Structure 1
Amino acid sequence: MDTTTSADGTTIAYESYGDGPAVVVVNGALSTAADAAGLAQALVDAGFRGIAYDRRARGASGDARGSTPEREAEDLAAVIHAVGGATAVLGHSSGAVLALYAASRGVATGALFLSEPPLRFGIDEPADDLAERLQRCVDEGRPDDAIVTFQLEGVGLPEQMVEAFRASDQFASVVPLAQSTVYDTNLVQVSSVPSPEMLSVHGPVTILRGEQTFPILLTAADRLAEELAGAELVIVPESVMHRPDPAATVRVVAERLA
């Protein structure tokens, strides 16, 4: 992986695939650049350069503790600068929130493709002290509790689903990402009711969602498309239950960047 340095000195690692106009993929919660490899390869197949990066406190990237959403926007800006500029940014889940937030703060994202951003618009928001409690879990050496609490309260997954995940072999792979749950919580809380700046970003914005996904994400995508000036809503049937289908998602990107 290559690295760049964010404004606060944090090292951000990224992977570049292929050649052509650069599209930066911004992943969601509890994921790393490796999880974006499918999207990045689909971008390559469509003639783009796919860029996937480890958001701070994940994978090979560093972490300046006490990070804020502003710092994460600076991280994205650093990656875009390192690859010579971006034609577009493709964000999924909290990564879509980050992409929109960064664009509203002047980051040169190019066209925005926002896949199922988990915005609540002030309805059934998590408790105000969630990030503080998650940080306490991490500081006390209980990263697994941070993951579970985040999934239950921050994401709103059913308890049975969370407990099944905790008992699975996959759970161990996300425990090292526990600190990032604090940052995702802060990011979504700051942006859950989009600011006027977020609702008036410059440049084309495409909002994507599946037909079958969590109800909160259906509502969020549809409402954001209604409120964000000039945004287009595209339903991607192949993307199911908050998992973006790489080929179908990139097909939407390629058609709009043609």
Structure 2
Amino acid sequence: MDEVKTTRCGARGLVRSQDGTRIAYERYGDGPPVILVSGALGTAGGERALAGLLARRYSVVAYDRRGRGASGDTAPYAVEREIADLAALVDAVGGAAGTAAVHGTACGGALALAAAAAGVPVGPVSVYEPPYGPEAAARRSRVRALLDRGQRGAALDAFLAEGAEAIGPARPRPALEALAHTLAYDDAVVGDGAVPAARLGRVHARVLVVDGGASPSWTRRVARSVAAAVPRGRHRTLTGQTHQVAPHVLAPVLAGFLDECRAEEPAGT
């Protein structure tokens, strides 16, 4: 782990992934570690509100996924490299136990589950509206086709027009367009859009799958399917919430889940 610097945005630091890529993160609070994995076009900065709420009881790490913010990006892209990024963070912040809880939003949730299935030593995993299903797949296919033709601006327009992804606080268009290429990364993480039941069956962690009661009905169908595919999964719907979930509504649900999981741990772990 590279030098950590404390700023008004928390303690900032860098870790190096297996391929040497520098992954930048922000850390808030003290206590058991929790890593936040952002969704499409998300950065560590977009997780600050949720991180601040969880930091009352946990040490919360929000990071720039590769190709975003202050993190590097090593070609060619591969989902396995993003999994290795998360593994490097777990290793850096996991302390003596060598593990950390993980929460992922949308495509970040799909990445968190893929990492857990690949054997990354995560603790409890929570995800908010992982974007599997044919509806989300059709949207990503349109965006990916534009990116493949080098039409980054048009791809961003197509993505934003759907209004279906939580991308954090409002940011200038140039900032979003600079991240548009990472929409292809998220497409790779989710794959063909089908709920990967076989992969999810290899997740041994406790998993909470959350959706919003005001989101489209297909998101709840997907969330229930993901929870059912995970051996230790459960499902929760937040009344009145959409894909742009309010941090102050989500935070106590996540904290309650994490507290419950900690209470169930054997003594001395």
Please give the range of the TM-score, normalised by the shorter of the 2 chains: 0.7 to 0.9
Pair 1:125 & 2:137 matched: yes
Distance apart, 1:135 and its partner CA: 4.0
CA distance in 2, matches of 1:60, 1:135: 25
Equivalence for 1:112:
125
Gap runs ≥5 in structure 2: 1-11, 260-269
Equivalence for 1:63:
73
Q: How does 1:136-175 map to 2 (within 5 A)?
A: 136-137=149-150, 142-151=151-160, 157=162, 170-175=172-177
Q: 1:230 aligns with which of 232, 235, 238?
A: 232
Contact kept in structure 1, 2:102 and 2:112, CA below 8 Å: yes
CA RMSD of aligned residues (A): 2.5
Contact kept in structure 2, 1:2 and 1:14, CA below 8 Å: yes
CA offsets 1:212-249 (integer angstroms, 9 cap, x no match)? 113332221122123322311111226x2212222332
CA distance in 2, matches of 1:198, 1:102: 10
Equivalence for 2:178:
176
Equivalence for 2:264:
none
**2:23 match: secondary structure:** strand
Pair 1:241 & 2:250 matched: no
How has the CA–CA distance of structure 1 residues 124 and 18 changed in structure 2, closer, same or farther, with 3 Å as cutoff? Answer: closer
Contact kept in structure 1, 2:143 and 2:156, CA below 8 Å: no
Q: What amino acid does structure 2 have at the position aligned with 1:65?
A: A
Distance apart, 1:191 and its partner CA: 6.2
Contact kept in structure 1, 2:137 and 2:192, CA below 8 Å: no
CA distance in 2, matches of 1:170, 1:129: 23
TM-score (norm 1): 0.84
Q: How does 1:187-206 map to 2 (within 5 A)?
A: 187-189=189-191, 192-206=194-208
Pair 1:100 & 2:113 matched: yes
What percentage of aligned pairs have identical amino acids?
Answer: 34
Pair 1:254 & 2:265 matched: no
Pair 1:53 & 2:66 matched: no
Equivalence for 2:43:
32
CA offsets 1:11-40 (integer angstroms, 9 cap, x no match)? 110000011001000010011100000111
CA distance in 1, matches of 2:158, 2:119: 33
TM-score (norm 2): 0.81
Gap runs ≥5 in structure 1: 163-167
CA distance in 1, matches of 2:102, 2:238: 18
Equivalence for 1:165:
none
Distance apart, 1:133 and its partner CA: 4.2
Distance apart, 1:150 and its partner CA: 4.1
CA offsets 1:183-221 (integer angstroms, 9 cap, x no match)? 011111156431413233102111111111133322211
Contact kept in structure 1, 2:131 and 2:193, CA below 8 Å: no
CA distance in 1, matches of 2:194, 2:172: 29
Pair 1:75 & 2:75 matched: no
